[in-house]
Structure 1
Amino acid sequence: MRFRRVALENFKCYADADLTLEGGVTVVHGVNGSGKSSLLEACFFALYGHRALDANLDEVVTTGAEEATVELWFAHGGADYHIERRVKLRGGGATNDKCVLETPEGPVEGVKDVRAYVTDLLRMDTDAFVNCAYVRQGEVNKLINADPGTRQDMIDDLLQLGTLEEYRERASDARVGVKRVRDGKREVLADVESQIASKEDENLHERLNGLKSDLSEVSDEIETLEEGRATAVETRDQAREILENHEAKREEIAALADDIEELEAEIAETEQEREQAAERISGLTTAAEEHRETAREAVREAVDASDADDLDVAPANPDPASLAAAVDDLESRIEDVDDRIQERLLERQEHAGDAETARERAEELASEAEEKREEADELAAELEAARQTVAQQREQLAELDERIAELEASFEDAPCDPGGADALVEQRRDALAEARAQVTSLEGDIEHARERVTEAEELLAEGKCPECGQPVEDSPHVERVDEDRERVAELEAELAAARETVTEREAALEAAEDLADRADELEQRRNDRESAQELLTERQQGLDDEAERVEGLRERAAELDDEAAAKREAAETAEAEAEAAKADIGELNGEKASLKQQRNLLEEATDALDAADEVETEAERLRERRESLASENELRRESLAEKRDRKAELEEAFDEERVEHAEGELERAEQYIEQVDGKLEGLRERRDDLQGAIGATEQELETLEELRERRDALAETVDNLDSLYEEAEQLESMYADLRAELRQQNVEKLERLLNETFDLVYTNDAYSHIELDGSYELTVFQKDDEPLEPEQLSGGERALFNLSLRCAIYRLLAEGIEGTAPMPPLILDEPTVFLDSGHVSKLVDLVESMRDLGVEQILVVSHDEELVGAADDLVRVAKDPTSNRSRVERTNAVEPGALESEAVEGDD
């Protein structure tokens, strides 16, 4: 596998970068903090997404940007691939906005699907990638410092042995599951066999034969009794028919007697009603005459109450038509008087309303006049206060002019004009940050150099060489201690100068910030003056307007007083007209009362005539009723004769002797049926019980047969489960043995590769070899066969040891896979952190050896100049102090020291 190209946009410290990666050894070089590691992190992030990050997802987006994009092109197994990931900030957090992997088979989309595809393609998840191919900054000792169990799991996972353990665990789980199912089936089989034995002891076939014989006997007896009962039922029904016929005749005779009696009573009652109607007709004739007399009296009173020619009605013989006409005439006259009353009422209300409205308006006008006078007085007072305020604002404007002139004068000798103060602050702030970064870098270098001097002095005190640990006599490495001491002194001098630069730049920044504050104040004062001038102009213009408004309010108050006096005069006139209307209404009400009295008397006469007509109508109705009752009685007398004849005919045909014989037959038949029904009920219950017992026995026989079939099936299942359990047990053992065998093979091969790699980078007489046991425990043996733990090695030796272990694992995976899954690039991020200058040269040898062994692509990130010589391709990373953004430059690494820079792509 080989990375071909990586493109970044707003990723961490990169605004825009595009880098092509070649085969062989590529060294990414630059000072600390320049953004070198971010290039490799971008490649790692492109492959595995957020699981490749040590930080939160939103931290990959460049400060101030809304989204970040990473693209990676790589080749694997002879095919080309392209991944694009885009992260977008939303609502205070970051989300994956796009994730697409272009493959030879087609695109794969989505964070989970892409990560799963990459993991399957490389046969490595995120942890396996950093444990094998990607030595991240500060993690060079990760494998050695891990506890034995963790280290064993890490290496087993890299060598795919963890998959065998997973298969063994699955086989174990399957074996346990089969055993659990088999034991359950055995329990069920034993229970079924117990049920079969219990049912076989019950002799179900003999019981069934006996039940069927009993059922046949009971059924024959039921059939005999049912035949005798049917004969008895026929005799009973015939007797009932005879008795019912005679009973019907008896009931008809009784009904005829009742009808005859009822008709005789109705005839007598009707004759009595005819006599009462005659008496009522006589009374009604007298009442009709009394009503007509009442009508004549009411008409006379009405004529007396009116003028001589007002009513056209004859008191001696009033008729309904003339009465109705007179009432209508009176109603019309009453309505006319009502109309005149309403007219005068409206006039009175209108005049009273006008008077009230006029008085209310007069009050309103007087109140409004008073308000206008008060408003004029208030405005006059406010006008005087406004004149004083204008004078004060003129004084404030003069003070602002004076302060603006002072601030402008302060910029005459400044290094910038007011508009450039903020830019000066940012420039000096960046310069101070750069100086502080230099101090931090120097402090780290001094601490590292002092540690090397201290370590060397301690070894010298023990009489050992600080480079190789051998006796100090005649050792050429002792001179390095003095060089390290001189290096410490040089770094301390550089640090003092750098700190002095920080102090100077802090003072310069403080002066620039003071200029920026004055520039802000100047801008604010100018804005304040402009606002004050506008306000002063507005208020000056408003003073004359306010004076005119005061005079206008006072003139309006006088006008309102005149209007109020006019409204009071109008109110007095309207009140006088309302009183005149009130007197007219009284006269009209008297006229209306007289007309109503006449109308009421005529209506009373009309009611009396109507009552007389109703009484006469009732008398005529009663006469017709008497004639109708006479006809009804005639019909009743005819029906009475017919019923008497039918009753006599039925009495002659009635046979008492036949009735007595039928009653005897009925009683005997009913007694027999009752006795038979009791016996049949018991026999039928017995038959039902026998049928139920037969069904239950047959069901038990079917259940017995089903149990036998189930027993056979369960026995076969248990046999199959026994065989399956043995197979799962053998499979579990096979996976365990295979894992142990493969681990031993890998341990032996890894031990050989580790010794080859360590011998290559550490050539001295101190150590003889390295041993690796089955749990991946590492032991270093000295020339005298004394064992050492890796932790007992010096810092530089331990770092080389761990790098050698990583490279040996990489070689083991590459050789073991045999080209079926090409290895990813070998990535070393700041591998010189724990190495002194002597060990760095051996790291160079290690890198060159891996290249010679056929590793297609090696990527090394470092700030160390010694690694430049090992590069086939050199990439330099630098950070712009103004924008704080990193840029990438490619350098043709033909020979160390003869470097020619060419800008590739970046954020300049």
Structure 2
Amino acid sequence: MRFRRVVLENFKCYADADLTLDPGVTVVHGVNGSGKSSLLEACFFALYGHRALDANLDEVVTTGADEATVELWFAHGGADYHVERRVKLRGGGATNDKCVLETPEGPIEGVKDVRAYVTDLLRMDTDAFVNCAYVRQGEVNKLINADPSTRQDMIDDLLQLGTLEEYRERASDARVGVKRVRDGRREVLRDVESQIEEKEDRDLHERLNGLKGDLSEVSAEIDDLEAQRETAVETRDQAREIIENHEARREEIAELADDIEELESEIASAEQEREEAAERVSELTTAAEEHREAARDAARTAVDTAQEDDDPDIRVDVTPGNPDPASLDAAVAELEARIEDVDDRIQERLLEKQEHASDAETARERAGELTTEAEAKREQADELESELEAARETVAEQRERIDDLDERIDDLRAVFDDAPCDPDGADALVERRRERVAEARERVTSLEGDLQHARERVAEAEELLAEGKCPECGQAVEDSPHVERVDEDRERVADLEDELAAARETVAEREDALDAAETLAERADELEQVRSDRESARELLTEREQGLDDDEERIDDLRERAAELADEAEAKREAAATADERAEAAKAAIGELNGEKATLKQRRTRLEEAADALDEAADLENEVERLRERRESLASENDLRRDSLAEKRDRKTELEAEFDEERVEHAEDELERAEQYIEQVDGRLADLRERRDDLQGAIGATENEIEALEELRERRGDLAATVENLDSLYEEAEQLESMYADLRAELRQQNVEKLERLLNETFDLVYTNDAYSHIELDGSYELTVFQKDDEPLEPEQLSGGERALFNLSLRCAIYRLLAEGIEGTAPMPPLILDEPTVFLDSGHVSKLVDLVESMRELGVEQILVVSHDEELVGAADDLVRVEKDPTSNRSRVERTNAVEAGALESQVAEGDD
């Protein structure tokens, strides 16, 4: 497996980054804090998600951004894969907004599914990846510092032995489970045998026979009683029928008596209503005649009034007799038409009055507006005259300002006469000098780190010398050897101090040059601004000079317009007076028309009263006719009621003759005796039936117990067979558990022997001190280092640099063991070393380079090393430089040819202009 490409957007300190990773050794180089480790942590995060992080998920999003995206392309087993993860900030927290893995079989979506697929593909979960392929910064000693149990689990999981332990635990769980089930079945078997013994002691078959005999006797008695009860029921029903028939006749006689009484009452009521109707007819006839007389009087009054006013249009026939309704209606219609005509003439005069009044008001308002507008024009002309004078003064001031700006432009141009650039090149000069300052500061930061490391080595060596120990291996020796190596370290400290002082002087010089360039840039900006101000001033001056003549012409126009508006206002006042006179004339005409309308309405009212009186008389006459018809109808209804009354009296007499009281009394006696007997028999039958039900229940229960006994005997046989099978299964699970334990121990021993060999080979390669003979690894992965005199040492007794090399050797040996054991069926991921030189001096760093080279020769397809140490650059096939912008605090990556990188470092050390 190898990484092909990684693309970042707003991930930690990277705003954006796009890096292609080739096979071989790639060194990610840069100063401390530049973001080197974050680059490879992004690859780890792309594979396993948030479990690959040491921080919270929201910390991967760049400060100030809303979301972060990581994309990783990698090859594995001859196939290509692409994974994309996007984290978005919502509501103060971070969530996985997108997680997609493109595979040859199709896309995988979702955080859990992608992590599960990657774990299965690489045969490594997050912990296994870190323990095998990814030596993270500060965790080089992780395996050695772990307690024995944890270290054993970690290495077993890497070598796939944890699966065997899992199988052994499953077999153990199965054995315990089988035992639990078997013990339970044995207990159930003992319980079933106890139940069988109890039932066999109760002699269930003999009890069943006795119950069936008792049931037969009770059933026979029930049959006899039910036959006798049926005869009693027949007698009771016959008696009830006789009683019910006589009761029906008695009820019919009572109903006929009620009907007869009701008919007699209805006949009397109808006769009373006929008499009242006759009286009402007489009253209504008199009232109708009175209304007709009133109609004649009202019509005659309307005609007389019209004749007095010499109005020939009112014509009504009021000859002796009733007034003619048709002539009344025609006269009312004629009056309504004349009233409508008067209304129309009134409306015309109203409109005429309103129109003249409106014209007058409009003319007065317009006269006022014209007067106001004329005054405003005069005031505007006065204001323009004042402004014109002020504008002439402003033009003079503007000419003086243009002269001042010309002098300032000449002064600013003179600044660039001896400058290293013209005004247009000032910004470019600032940028170049700012880059040189950043390069010088980066050099100071690198030297400060190297100087700190060198001082720590000298302090550690001096402490060991003071204790009489070797400054390289830390062992107690005589005469304090290797003093010359300590002197070299001291000289290295002095050289670094001199280099650091020179680098700081370079920073100061370049900062001064940068200040001068920034001053020139400020003068260039000012020159551009002054030029712009002069151009604007010239344009404004031209505009204002042109406006002076326009203002004079406009003042004359305003005064002329004011005079015209005053004349128009006077004409509008005269028109308003004429319109007022016409409105008063229309008002007088409206008064005369209203008087004519009132007279016409009075005559129409008298004629309408006559018509209403005639209508009321007609209604009364109709009511008289209706009452006469009602009297005739009541007489016919009474004739029918009298016929029905005679029939009901005859039927009542007939029913009273048929009624037999003695037969009813005999039937009542029979009914009473039959009901008493049935009541007695029902009580006895209820007791017998309850007894029969009890016997049937007891028989059913006994039969169920016999059936249950047979089932218990059958179940006893099944349980005995099950217990026997569980005994056999328990033995098989016990054997399987033992087999997995033995197999794990055997495989672990084989892996321990091979891992011990690879560890010694790797440690011999990177460690040249002849103080140690070999390393032993026991079955629990306990590590022991042996000196040349076979004296054992714990790994914790080694020096810091030796422990670092020892741990790196162990991690590489484990990686080699997995690669050789898998034999290509699951290619190993890239070997990643993140800041492996933290505890190493320059001599040990060179051995780390040898270790990297040896791993590449052993066939590791891709090795990624993160370091700020310059010595590792030589081991790189590709060099990736990481830099951080101090202004934006954002990192960027740049691939550099490894050969060219050395030249670049020397240029940085020398400095430039």
TM-score (norm 1): 0.79
Aligned residues: 882
TM-aligned CA distance change 1:607 to 1:700, over 3 Å: farther
| Partner in structure 2 of residue 500 of structure 1 | 505
Alignment partner, residue 807 of structure 2? 802
Alignment counterpart, residue 82 of structure 1, candidates 80, 83, 93: 80
Tell whether 2:353 aligns with 1:348.
Answer: yes
User: In percent, how many aligned pairs have the same letter?
Assistant: 75
Alpha-carbon shift at residue 430 of structure 1 (Å)? 1.8
CA distance in 2, matches of 1:258, 1:766: 143
1:147 & 1:404 partners in 2: Cα distance? 79
Which residue of structure 1 aligns with residue 596 of structure 2? 591
Q: 1:326 maps to which residue?
A: 331
**1:513-532 pair list within 5 angstroms:** 513-532=518-537
Structure 2 residue 434 is matched with structure 1 residue 421 = no
**Aligned twin of 1:144:** 144
Alpha-carbon shift at residue 507 of structure 1 (Å): 1.1
- CA deviations 1:315-336 (Å, max 9, x no partner) are 5332322333333333333333
CA distance in 2, matches of 1:851, 1:293: 141
CA contact (8 A) 1:130 1:136 kept: yes
Which residue number in structure 1 is paired with residue 794 of structure 2?
789
Task: Quote the residue 1:163 is aligned against.
Answer: 163
Deviation of the 1:500 alpha carbon: 1.8
Q: Deviations over 1:798-850 (max 9, x none)?
A: 44433443444345445555666565666666656654455456556656766
Q: What secondary structure is seen at the aligned counterpart in 2 of 1:510?
A: helix
SS of equivalent to 2:786: strand
Cα deviation digits, residues 189-242 of structure 1 (max 9, x gap): 788788888888888777776766666555555544443443344334434444
Moved more, 573-582 or 39-48: 39-48
Partner of 2:772: 767
Q: Is the 8 A contact 1:101 1:114 kept in 2?
A: no
Matched position secondary structure for 2:618: helix
Is the Cα–Cα contact under 8 Å of residues 58 and 89 in structure 2 kept in the other structure? Answer: no
Partner of 2:340: 335
Query: How do residues 380-529 of structure 1 correspond to structure 2 at under 5 angstroms?
Result: 396-454=401-459, 479-529=484-534
Structure 1 partner of 2:911:
none
Question: Is 1:316 matched up with 2:320?
Answer: yes
Q: 2:424 corresponds to which letter in structure 1?
A: G
In the TM superposition, residue 16 of structure 1 has moved relative to its aligned partner by 6.5
- Contact 1:14/1:886 (8 A) holds in 2: no
Describe the SS at the equivalent of 1:776. coil
The reply on whether 1:613 has 2:615 as its aligned counterpart is no
Cα 1:524–1:637 shift into 2, 3 Å: same
Mapped pair 1:888 → 2:886:
no
Distance in 2 (CA, whole Å) between partners of 1:539 and 1:362 is 38
Q: Is the contact between residue 291 and residue 609 of structure 1 (CA under 8 Å) also seen in structure 2?
A: yes
- Hey, what's the Cα distance between the residues in 1 that align with 2:484 and 2:288? 164
CA drift at 1:188 = 7.2
The alpha-carbon deviation at position 510 of structure 1 amounts to 1.7
Equivalent position SS for 1:306: helix
Q: How does 1:184-195 map to 2 (within 5 A)?
A: none
Evaluate the alpha carbon distance shift between residue 369 and residue 269 of structure 1 in structure 2; reply closer, same or farther with a 3 A threshold: same
How far is 1:265 from its partner? 5.1
1:721-740 matched pairs, under 5 angstroms: 727-728=732-733, 730-740=735-745
Q: Using the TM superposition, name which of 13-22 and 395-404 deviates more.
A: 13-22
Q: Give the conservation status (yes or no) of the 8 Å contact 2:46–2:72.
A: yes
1:412 match: secondary structure: coil
Offset from partner CA, 1:37-88 (integer Å, 9 cap, x none) = 89987887787677667798997999999977654456x5xxx233445677
> 1:510-551 CA distances to partner (integer Å, 9 max, x unpaired)?
222222333333344444445555555556655665666666
CA, structure 1 residues 774+585, in 2 after alignment: closer, same or farther (shift >3 Å)?
Answer: same
Q: In structure 2, what residue type is equivalent to 1:499?
A: R
The letter for the 2-side match of 1:497 is: A
1:715 to 1:524, Cα distance in 2 relative to 1, 3 A: farther
2:307 match: secondary structure: coil
* Paired position in structure 2 for 1:903: none
> Secondary structure of the residue that 1:314 maps to in structure 2?
coil
User: Following TM superposition, by how much is the alpha carbon of 1:766 offset from its aligned partner in structure 2, in angstroms?
Assistant: 2.9
Q: Secondary structure at the match of 2:897?
A: strand
| TM-aligned CA distance change 1:197 to 1:386, over 3 Å | farther
1:153 aligned partner, one-letter code:
D
Q: Distance in 2 between matches of 1:195 and 1:394?
A: 129
- Cα deviation 1:599-635 (Å, max 9, x = unaligned): 3333333333334434444444444444444444444
Structure 2, unpaired ranges of 5+: 886-890, 904-913
* 1:901 aligned residue: none
Structure 1 residues 337, 44: CA separation in 2 closer, same or farther (over 3 Å shift)? Answer: closer
Contact 1:277 1:626 in 2 (8 A): yes
- Label 1:266 to 1:538 Cα distance change in 2 as closer, same or farther (>3 A): same
Structure 1: how far apart are the matches of 2:500 and 2:745?
Answer: 57
CA distance in 1: counterparts of 2:99 and 2:268, whole angstroms: 115
Task: Describe the shift of the 1:739–1:231 C-alpha distance in structure 2 as closer, same or farther (beyond 3 A).
Answer: same
User: Conserved in 2, the CA contact under 8 Å of 1:62 and 1:68?
Assistant: no
Paired residues for 1:536-551 under 5 Å: none
**Residues 84 and 98, structure 1, Cα contact 8 Å, conserved in 2:** no
Aligned CA RMSD, in angstroms, stands at 5.2
Map of 2:290 onto structure 1? 290
CA gap of 1:532–1:661, structure 2 versus 1, over 3 A, is: farther
Aligned amino acid, residue 300 of structure 1:
R
Corresponding residue of 2:784: 779
Note closer, same or farther for the CA distance 1:694–1:305 as it changes in structure 2 (3 Å cut).
farther
1:422 Cα deviation (Å)? 2.6
Give the aligned residue type for 1:505: R
Secondary structure of 1:498's match? helix
Q: Which moved more, 1:503-512 or 1:214-223?
A: 214-223
What amino acid is aligned across from residue 348 of structure 1 in structure 2? K
**Which residue in the other structure is 1:301 paired with?**
301
User: 1:161 corresponds to which letter in structure 2?
Assistant: L
Aligned-pair CA distance for 1:501: 1.3
Segment drifting more, 524-533 vs 13-22: 13-22
- Displacement of 1:738 in angstroms is 4.2
Structure 1: which amino acid aligns with 2:80? H
Structure 1 residue 674: Cα displacement = 4.8
Deviations for 1:746-786, whole angstroms, at most 9, x for unmatched residues?
44444444445445555565334434444434333334444
The change in CA–CA distance for 1:403 and 1:722 in structure 2 (over 3 A counts) is farther
Matched AA of 2:615: D
Name the residue aligned to 2:906: none
AA partner of residue 606 (structure 2): L
Matching residue of 2:888:
none
Whole-Å separation in 2 of the counterparts to 1:865 and 1:659: 137
Question: How far did residue 712 of structure 1 move?
Answer: 6.7
C-alpha spacing 1:278/1:409, structure 2 compared with 1 (3 Å): same
